[in-house]
Structure formats: C-alpha cells, structure tokens
Chain A
Amino acid sequence: MTRYAAGIDLGAACTKVIIIDADGQLLARSLEKTGFQPDQAAARCLAQALEDAGLEQGDLSAIISTGFARHLASMRHRAVTELTAATHGARLLFPAAGSVLDLGGQTIKACRFDENAKILAFRLNEKCASGTGSFLERTARIMGVGLEQVDALARQSLHPAPISSVCAVFAESEIISQLMQAVPPQDIMQGALVACVDRALQILRQVGLQDELVLVGGVLRFATAAQLLQQKLACQIRLPGDDMLQFVAALGAARIGIRFGGNVSS
C-alpha cells in the first residue's frame, strides 16, 4: 500500500498544506489566509488538499504540523518547529542545501544544517517586525499599490530611496513623508525591499553562510528581493520553483511524516 503524508504549515499570514507520497512526489497543495481561527484554517486547507489529491484523511499515515500556530492544528499527529520543517523541505528540493533563509509575513529565520538535516545554528527576528513581509504589506497599502504590483513597480527604480528607521512603524512614517516630498513611488518601493533584504542579511550573517543557501518564504514572491540577496551574497543560492516558495516548510513537514511517521510525540 502506498503511504501518504500531509504537512500543515500554520504561518502568521497563511496556512499551507502539502500532501506527498512515500517517494516524495507532490500530490496536492493548498493555501489560505490563517485569520484568527488557525485550527479552522488548517482543517479547511487540509480538506481542500485531500480533495485535490483524491484522498481521504484516513489515507494519510502521518499529519505533521508546523508554523507558529502548529499546536492549534487538532488533527496533527505530531508538531515540528518551522526550522526543522524548512530544513527537511529544503533538502528534499535541493539535496546539497546547507542553509535556509526564510522571509515570512512576520518572521525572518535563518538556519544552517548538516547533511542529515540536523540544525547547527539558527537565528530568528523574534520580537520585531522590522524587515518582515508585514512591513512590505503596510508599505504597499500606504502607497495604494496592490501586492501583485510591488515587484513591477520596484523594478523601475534607478535610485532606491534609503529608509533610515529600523522600526517598521517609524519606517511607515518615513515612507509617508517621502511620498509627501514627491519621491518617485518606484524608488520608495525599492527602498523598502532593500531595507527588508538588509535586515534579513543581518540575521543570516549571525548564523553564518553555508552553501547552498535555499531562499523560502512569501516575501521572495517579489523577485526583486531574491535578486538583491543574490547581489549581496557570495554563496550559491537556490530558489524553489513552481510557486513552492511558501510551501517549503509544509513540504518538509510532510517529508518528516513519510520518514519518521506520525507517532513520535513532541
């Protein structure tokens, strides 16, 4: 009998579900806004993925949850940290991966690991929204730019406007005053992306660079962010394709389900 496993990543912004088989083949994936009822978002998201895969929940040999609200997914067999999940997901996609940089909605995470996906060092942004996806979201909102337009806008910039504030709240005020001073919107948007990338690099450097670096997280949907990172980093960079950027942790969780089953307590 074929074994299947689901990984559920309950992130601050979005909940992601991946279903794979024992060979690591992707059967289905699903994404929705987490909202304020993470357990319900997880249930809906899993149901959708099961439907797409043509499976029943009983067909899954393991359901592994991860993400900040991982303990709220009541159907889970086991919960693992985002770092562990992202590490396994990165190595499934890129067998030579040695580190992960995750640029999420409310978190920036960097970790370095060995060939057995054992984490050697990690660092999180923890208490501060500086440089996270929520900062970019707020910037886009103030500027009246839809998230899907952010990248195209930033691309037009020749002279990114630097942001001196670290705090996302103060940066917002700074951006408003830039707008009032008629700084071109593309330069403000690019400046905001540069600020995010610089913050991520600070966190990454505390962990130490190690080939290959896999970039994941919703912020990298803005191709400019990945390009900026590429320019500033000397190591080999890998970017998950096929819209998998936001699904790497869910994929890793599912992979853990296949490899270790769901019976280990955590």
Chain B
Amino acid sequence: MNRFDPPFTAGVDVGSTQTKAVLLDAGAMIAGTAIIDTGFDVDAAARAVFGQLLTGIGLQADEVRMVAGTGYGRFRIEFGDLQVTEISCHARGAVHLFPDTRTVLDMGGQDTKAIRVAADGGVIDFSMNDKCAAGTGRFLSAAAAVLEMPLDELAAVAATASHPVTISTTCTVFAETEILAWVARGKAINDILLGAHQAIASRSLALLKRVGLQPAITFTGGVSRNSCMVAQLEQLLGSWVQVGEQTPFAGALGAALFARDRLMGLQQAAQP
C-alpha cells in the first residue's frame, strides 16, 4: 500500500460481458484493477467490482475520493460521482497506456469501436457497430459455444492452424450454422477457428478505415487479451498493434482519469 499516495480515484466500466474497475493514486499510477462477469444486474455488478477493487488493495470506500462510471448503450449505469461515455473513456485510457496512440480499436463482448484520438486523449472521430453482433467478441463466444470450447482457449487453438476456412456469412447467427457445417464437412477445429478470427479482424479493418487509420494503433477491450486476434490484426494492418495487460481495462482507466481530473479541479478551486 505504501507505494501509492492518496488521494485515490477510481473508474468502473460496466461492459456487456464483463465489468472492470481501475484504482488510481495521486500520481495517476494504477494502484489496482478488478474484473467480474456483468451478469444481468448492471448496478450490482458495478458495486461488486468496486468492492473487489477495495478489498484487493485494502482500502475503505471513503478513501476513494472520486469514482467515475462508464458503461454501454441503453444500460449505461448510474454509478459513481460522475458518468462519462465509453468512447471518451477508451480514448483517454488508451492514450494514457500508450501515449503515441492515434487510433483505438476497442473490441468488447457486444460492440466494436474504432476511435481516432488526439495526443491529449481527446476523441476526434469514431465509428462503431452497435446494431449488429458481427465482428464483435460475441462472434467468438458464439464460435466457442458451438464448438463447445472455453473462450480463453480459442486463440491458442486457432494459432496452430495452417489452412483457415473462409467464414462467408456476416451475421453471427448464420456463422454458427456455417461453423457447424464446416465441422460436418470434416474441417479441423483450428482451421475453422482461425477463419473466425480472420472474419472478425477484417470487419474491424473496415471500421478502422472509416475513421481514418493513423498509427500508432492501440487495441483495447476484452478481446485485446486474444493473441490470435492481435496477430490477425497486425497481419491485415501490416503494422504493430499495441496491447498489454492493462488494455482490457482501458475504459475503466479512462473513467478513473476523468474522476482524477474532477478531483484535482475541485481541490484547486478549494485552495485560497
């Protein structure tokens, strides 16, 4: 605990699939992170992940001076002292992690966003697919479900493939049928999975091009943990894609930074 200096601020990001929290210290150092499955009660998930964050670091709730919430779509949560849109949060978080970031690709459980950002983390332009599950993490979880595999094993299996199949359907519902049809035709699971990763990567590329792709590119959201997706994106883009342990937390990190801004602003205003 001694490594970090108060006052603390936090960000909570309620995603469609997982809820993430980040704790920052006075110097904007990441003091802790927490992640849980969102489930159906988004407010309960926000409270639970915040509780886990505090327990993990051994803090009381009142020691966190400002909390910002962010979340998705119509379920946008009413958690914390302020709320910020997830586009702003991902942009801010990505630039904080990788200051040379100019384009962010955020791939979550139910949506994928491409965001062009300024050096200060401000949003210049963005594009997202929020009406259709194609090209989102949902596509991968559908593939995992029909192949009866754990989601976190997909990347490792796909990486062993040498002759990926082409998944030609866009719709996730139809893709499930197509995946089963490939299985019935005797295609190897790894080739099918690599095909699924490639299908998603190429959809993201279209989204990235819409906002005007500028290096460096930072990949955030839950799917940034997927090493096969990173490799496919790099191959399509012909450039490095920045990812790290903290990129799944970029939204919560951005929220925490906004909370910290607010706290600093109030403290400055309070000084004589």
Residues of A in contact with B (beta carbons under 8 Å apart): 12, 35-37, 106, 127-129, 132, 134-135, 138, 164-170, 173, 176-177, 180
Contact = CB atoms under 8 A, between A and B. Distances in A.
Given A36-B185, A129-B171, A129-B173, A164 B133 contact: no
Nearest to B183: A36
B132 A128 contact: yes
Interface residues of B, number: 23
A12 B171 CA distance: 15
B180 interface: yes
Given A169-B172, A173-B110, A176-B40, 6 more contacts: A37-B184, A128-B171, A129-B171, A135-B173, A168-B171, A169-B110
A180 B172 contact: no
A59 B185 CA distance: 33
21 contacts: A12-B177, A106-B173, A106-B174, A106-B177, A127-B170, A127-B171, A129-B171, A132-B173, A134-B173, A138-B173, A166-B131, A167-B131, A167-B133, A168-B171, A168-B172, A169-B142, A169-B172, A170-B110, A170-B133, A173-B110, A180-B41
B204 interface: no
A41 to B, nearest CB: 12
A128 B185 contact: no
Contacts of B177: 12, 106
Nearest to A13: B177
B92 interface: no
Q: Which of B40, B171, B177, B180 has the most CB atoms of chain A within a 10 A radius of its CB? A: B171
B181 to A, nearest CB: 5
A67 to B, nearest CB: 14
Given A37-B184, A173-B16, A168 B40 contact: no
A36 B173 contact: no
Nearest to A135: B173
B132 A166 contact: yes
A237 B181 CA distance: 36
B138 interface: yes
A173 B41 CA distance: 13
B239 interface: no
B74 interface: yes
Contacts of A170: 110, 131-133
Interface string B87-118: 00000000000000000000000100000000
B181 A36 contact: yes
B169 interface: yes
Contacts of B110: 169-170, 173
Contacts of A180: 40-41
A168 B41 contact: no
A129 B142 CA distance: 14
B216 to A, nearest CB: 31
Contacts of A169: 110, 133, 138, 142, 172-173
A134 B176 CA distance: 11
A166 B177 CA distance: 19
A180 B41 CA distance: 8
B180 A36 contact: yes
A242 B98 CA distance: 66
A164 B184 contact: no
Nearest to B136: A169
Contact of A164 (B16, B74, B142): B74
Nearest to B174: A129
Contacts of A134: 173
Contacts of B131: 165-167, 170
Contacts of A165: 131
B134 to A, nearest CB: 8
A180 B74 CA distance: 16
Nearest to A125: B171
Nearest to B182: A36
A88 to B, nearest CB: 27
A129 B41 CA distance: 27
A168 B173 contact: yes
Interface string B156-185: 000000000000011111100100110111
B232 to A, nearest CB: 21
A132 to B, nearest CB: 8
B184 A36 contact: yes
Interface in B31-77: 40-41, 74-75
Contacts of A106: 173-174, 177
Contacts of B173: 106, 129, 132, 134-135, 138, 168-169
The 5 closest A-B pairs by CB, nearest first: A36-B184, A129-B173, A169-B133, A180-B40, A127-B170
Interface string B171-210: 1111001001101110000000000000000000000000
A44 B180 CA distance: 21
